[in-house]
Amino acid sequence: MAERTVLGEFLRSRRARVSPEEAGVASYGARRVPGLRREELAQLAGVSVTYYTRLEQGQSLNASESVIDAIARALDLDDDERTHLHDLARPVPARRRRAPKPATARPGIRQMIGAMVNVPAVVVGRQNEVLAWNTLGHLLLAGHLDAGSPDRPADRPNLTRLLFLDPHHRDLHVRWEVEAARAVASLRLVAGRYQDDRELAELIGELTMRSPEFSSLWSRQPVANCVSGTKLFRHPEVGDLELDFEVLHLPDESGHRTLMYSARPGSPSEAGLRLLMNATPSR
């Protein structure tokens, strides 16, 4: 992914959503595009127009933290967008890469989720590929796929690809539009953090070409770190489930995350999870 292009696209998208009135800037002349002009944003951020223009055009990738923060304040960015702007404006230098080894979940993580017999759990990698899941995680999210597929890098499931390209997985989500927006916003944040990840860039390119819905969402430049919330499922075996989810990031530089789902005690969804677990004891 070209850092210069991505940084410029993000800055322009955020300029476009801030009106002169909202920013307290006197508007003058006809505007060809919505939002703030470059010179108006530069004035609000306290930097020269030339400097800001070079930054937006990707000709300056060494902006100080104070300058980035000033631009973020002028654009009224939230915390996730501010983090994303820092990632784009000051990317980690690209390293000479050997052929990447397939990612694997640590044995301790596999053991942990395997012990969580009443909680659906999935370990995903940087590109949202499934590295491991426990029995209930598999039955909840992709019971139509082979339970052993995460151990085979060649046909390993990817939750984002499944959401946009797999009809079975798509039908699981009662609020598919909400889940699609979450997935794209999260992926955008990850893409800014790992700009030299070729596999991630290939995934984004594939989804852009194969899914008009993904392409439309991606072009809006959404950014959000979705680490908790509620998902509504319509499972083909046990019906409707309302599950809370939490995402735990591993404290290393792997980018691996553990997704866990739970139902409120005594709820129909808790009974539904028990039914799902007991419905197929041979798996």
pLDDT at 1: 42
pLDDT at 4: 57
Measure the CA–CA gap between 152 and 260, rounded to whole angstroms.
Answer: 22
Instruction: Name residue 102's amino acid.
Output: P
The domain locations on the chain are 3-25+32-89, 107-279
Alpha-carbon distance values, 154 to 102, 103, 121, 185, 257 (Å): 9, 12, 22, 26, 20
Measure the CA–CA gap between 190 and 259, rounded to whole angstroms.
Answer: 16
Buried/exposed code over 110-132 (b: 16+ C-beta within 10 A; e: otherwise): bebbeebeebbbbbbbbbbbbbb
Say which CATH topology domain 107-279 has.
Beta-Lactamase (3.30.450)
Evaluate whether 3-25+32-89 and 107-279 have a shared fold: no
pLDDT at 108: 93
Buried/exposed code over 19-57 (b: 16+ C-beta within 10 A; e: otherwise): eeeebebeeeeeeeeebbbbebbbbbbebeeeebeebbe
What is the distance, to the nearest Å, from the Cα of residue 52 to the centroid of all Cα atoms in its chain?
28
Looking at domain 3-25+32-89, which CATH architecture does it have?
Orthogonal Bundle (1.10)
Query: Which residues lie closer than 8 Å to 144 by C-beta, 6 or more apart?
Result: 168
Closest CA to 143 of 280, 256, 267, 6: 280
Judge whether 219 and 9 are in contact, CB under 8 Å. Answer: no
Running along the chain, 283 residues long, what does each successive block of 10 average in pLDDT? 72 89 75 83 90 84 85 93 88 53 88 95 95 97 96 94 97 97 95 88 96 96 92 96 95 88 97 88 45
Q: Is the C-alpha dihedral spanning 41, 45, 48, 53 positive or negative?
A: negative
Closest CA to 131 of 264, 13, 259: 259
pLDDT at 35: 86
pLDDT at 283: 42
